[in-house]
Structure 1
């Protein structure tokens, strides 16, 4: 089949669909007339309702409990296994967790057309008019980086190659690119240690003396341990005059609890400073409170979705914002800072059904400035983290000039996590590849190294 997740394991293919030998070409062009790319449940001709061998249920689908892997009767969605299009907690994008089977039941789980509230796609990102992709492409399952540990790795051999590349007159930048773009961060740390052991010199200092500008910044970022790089980026964003709030948002609103706790610890040990105190000194008001909440690293990370809680939270958020004069900011802070990302996605769906309005756009009306951007970043991470980073990358290169620090930071920090998915979503959202945009916005060895990391 040409759409992900159908049919579920143990469930027979739909009779006669797609025609034998045409699996890769179905559905034919122009057969997606719906906003999400799929027809509403119980309507349309794609896919035809499976009726053979099972008692009929709502919308022409088999009755609950009547087929292999069926959800229990009583409030459960009447379609195979709760998977594929229209399923709660499954929007067809990477990073969308599937709710466990035991989570079924209750009115909050009734699917809507295309799996999106009101049949609509999630709302647009701040600072741009590009919505999430309107039709899922065939995407890699799970998450995957473009850089993986090199096989047959030899730290001493790599250290020797780097030494030769920097020795004498001039620098062999291509040799440096070939090494650093094909080694994992952990392997780069081993190369750094081997270099000092073999030559009694600091590899980073040697690289800094040979390189300059954006190429230097990119190489140094690649040789920093990931936790240190995040801590360093936060410190850089707050030291001196002014604060780079977008960096604080990008890091603190997207990392896991463990990552945040390690960043806080590293910030203290490497810079002798308390991250929370620095945030309090550099920010204020509701934005300060949101970031302080984030740097506690205490978000619920239970992947099971409580749909009743999602409904309650949706009602709570509506009463704190759209449903009253003024805004109860602390209510938004509490919900968005404590709930798991799958839970927040369910809350957004419940909010759309209840208020007939998108929670992201409601936040846009109730908040402004940095706190608005921070709250939206959390919700966008809950919906599709890869799309959040794709949007950041696009705006780092869009228009005149390039925000090289953002470009470097995202490419480096996501290169071993989900850069494959970010590239895929980027192509969907902007109808051009990430590598094409990088090639058009950068030059020289800096461009070579970025493209080597991102992959063509």
Structure 2
């Protein structure tokens, strides 16, 4: 992609500004979806310098023409900010039991964030969270009520950044794989051992451990979890292991469930925009390939089908909203 000039940013910002009056939703989608992180930052800075208004704040406030859906505004605003700031907002939304009128905690979202980010990113998320919400993220997680098995795992993953190292160690991975095997009993697994490993090992090191487990014992660790007398902790751990061991496979599965679940009130509908915006510049190529292989349809086509299948409530899946998600889901590195 060619680098945009200062004049190009100014022209694009004018088109975006003019679109508020003209209701040019397509201009928003075209202008922002195709831009990389640096270009989006430049557009935001140029827009504020030219018009004295923060583009992200305007999107977040939904103070645009009535024809633009809140879903599109929310997705665009998430796309326009840095990843650690985005993650801090997504974490806050996931902790919806206190912040958003009685909603249950979305542990899926919390696990996805803390199991698929680097240690340096986790630290930035904590800093952004404290700056924006004036409270320690660790404390908000620890204070979740009622307690839940996922909560223990998320706390462990959050703490692990303190012990992270850049390099992975094959011998440690083999040793940890054997420890995981030895923790298995007829009544479940030894939680303390698993939580210790999640706390002390980096995500790359844990990924190597799960690979070693498969080589040593001939099957995935998640298969062992499925065959034993699984309780809530084991069920929670399955999801964590899947997310760490094979992120593209996990996120392809998550997207399919979210797309198919739009007509269900119990579906994690937020997963669609959360995953696409978060992974668009990370591993979307791989997610697209896995999605097509598993479900026989292109991800972008599956997302486009939401408009047709959700015709009874078009405000949730407007054409512009799905166009934006399709654009991100079609991105390649």
Task: Mark yes or no: TM-score above 0.5.
Answer: yes
In 2 relative to 1, CA 299–429 (structure 1 residues): closer, same or farther, beyond 3 Å? farther
Aligned 1:161-240 pairs, distance under 5 A: 161-167=15-21, 170-207=22-59, 208-210=62-64, 211-238=68-95, 239-240=99-100
Q: Distance in 2 between matches of 1:188 and 1:356?
A: 46
CA-CA distance at 1:360 after TM superposition: 0.6
CA-CA distance at 1:185 after TM superposition: 2.8
CA-CA distance at 1:343 after TM superposition: 4.0
8 Å contact 1:149–1:184 — kept in the other structure? no
Which of 311, 328, 334 aligns to 2:174? It is: 311
Q: Distance in 1 between matches of 2:58 and 2:208?
A: 51
In structure 2, what is the equivalent of residue 26 of structure 1?
A: none
**Deviations 1:206-231, CA, capped at 9 Å, x for gaps:** 44212323212212212222211100
Which of 315, 318, 323 aligns to 1:448? It is: 323
CA RMSD for the aligned pairs? 2.6
Q: Distance in 1 between matches of 2:251 and 2:322?
A: 19
8 Å contact 1:149–1:183 — kept in the other structure? no
Does the residue aligned with 1:273 lie in a helix, a strand or coil? coil
CA-CA distance at 1:244 after TM superposition: 1.1
Which of 291, 298, 316 aligns to 1:433? It is: 298
8 Å contact 1:336–1:378 — kept in the other structure? no
| Gap regions ≥5 residues in structure 2 | 308-317
**Deviations 1:111-144, CA, capped at 9 Å, x for gaps:** xxxxxxxxxxxxxxxxxxxxxxxxxxxxxxxxxx
Q: Distance in 2 between matches of 1:436 and 1:325?
A: 44
Q: Distance in 1 between matches of 2:118 and 2:163?
A: 8
Aligned 1:25-424 pairs, distance under 5 A: 151-152=4-5, 154-167=8-21, 170-207=22-59, 208-210=62-64, 211-238=68-95, 239-240=99-100, 241=102, 242-282=104-144, 284=147, 286-296=149-159, 297-298=161-162, 300-307=164-171, 309-322=172-185, 325-352=187-214, 355=217, 358-364=220-226, 365=228, 367-369=230-232, 371-372=233-234, 374-399=236-261, 401=263, 403-424=268-289
Q: Distance in 1 between matches of 2:291 and 2:51?
A: 43
Q: Distance in 1 between matches of 2:85 and 2:63?
A: 22
CA-CA distance at 1:311 after TM superposition: 3.5
Q: Distance in 1 between matches of 2:152 and 2:319?
A: 43
Does the residue aligned with 1:312 lie in a helix, a strand or coil? helix
Q: Distance in 2 between matches of 1:352 and 1:418?
A: 23
Q: Distance in 2 between matches of 1:204 and 1:352?
A: 45
Runs (4+) of structure 1 exceeding 6 A deviation are: none
CA-CA distance at 1:302 after TM superposition: 4.1
Query: Structure 2 length as normaliser, TM-score?
Result: 0.81
8 Å contact 1:231–1:266 — kept in the other structure? yes
CA-CA distance at 1:301 after TM superposition: 4.1
Q: Distance in 2 between matches of 1:451 and 1:349?
A: 33
Q: Distance in 2 between matches of 1:414 and 1:353?
A: 28
CA-CA distance at 1:257 after TM superposition: 0.2
8 Å contact 2:255–2:271 — kept in the other structure? yes
Q: Distance in 1 between matches of 2:254 and 2:86?
A: 18
Query: Structure 1 length as normaliser, TM-score?
Result: 0.61
8 Å contact 2:261–2:269 — kept in the other structure? no
Q: Distance in 2 between matches of 1:276 and 1:331?
A: 21
Aligned residue pairs: how many?
Answer: 304
Q: Distance in 2 between matches of 1:358 and 1:366?
A: 17
CA-CA distance at 1:158 after TM superposition: 1.8
Q: Distance in 2 between matches of 1:213 and 1:368?
A: 39
In structure 2, what is the equivalent of residue 47 of structure 1?
A: none
